[in-house]
Amino acid sequence: MPALQILGGAASNFVWAARIACAEKGVPYELVPARPHSPEVLTANPLGKIPAMRHGEVTLFETKAICTYIDRAFAGPGLIPAGAEGAALVEQWVSFVTTAFDPVCMRQYVLSYIFPNTPDKSPDRAVIDAALPKMEKLLGTLDAALAKTAYVAGPAFTLADAFALPIVNYLTRFPESAAMLAKNAHLHAWFKRVIERPSVVATMPPPPPK
Ligand X SMILES: N[C@@H](CCC(=O)N[C@@H](CS)C(=O)NCC(=O)O)C(=O)O
Looking at the Cβ atoms of 46 and 198, the one nearer to ligand X is 46
Distance in Å, CB of 40 to ligand X, minimum: 13
Does the footprint of ligand X cover residue 38 (CB under 6 A)? no
Question: What is the total count of residues that contact ligand X (CB under 6 A)?
Answer: 10
167 sits near ligand X (criterion: CB under 6 A) = no
- Binding ligand X (rule: CB under 6 A), the pick from 32, 42, 59, 62 is 62
**What x-and-dash track marks residues 126-165 binding ligand X by CB under 6 A?**
----------------------------------------
Residues in contact with ligand X, shown as a per-residue x/- string from 70 to 99 under the rule CB under 6 A = ----------------------------x-
According to CB under 6 A, which one of 20, 23, 44, 50 is a site residue for ligand X?
50
Compare residues 92 and 98 and give the one whose CB is closer to ligand X. 98
DSSP the chain: --SEEEES-TT-HHHHHHHHHHHHHT--EEEE---TT-HHHHTT-TT--S-EEEETTEEEESHHHHHHHHHHHS-SS-SS-SSHHHHHHHHHHHHHIIIIIIIIIIIIIIHHHHS--STT----HHHHHHHHHHHHHHHHHHHHHHHHSSBTTBSS--HHHHHHHHHHHHHTTSHHHHHHHHH-HHHHHHHHHHTTSHHHHHHPPPPPP-
Tell me which residues in 17-36 interact with ligand X (CB under 6 A): 36
Cβ at position 99, least distance to ligand X in Å: 9
Contact between 63 and ligand X by CB under 6 A: the answer reads yes
The answer to the question of residue 13 lying near ligand X (CB under 6 A) is yes
End-to-end CA distance of the chain: 33
34 contact partners, CB below 8 Å, separation of at least 6: 7, 8, 9, 40, 41, 50
Contact positions vs ligand X (CB under 6 A):
12-14, 36, 48-50, 62-63, 98
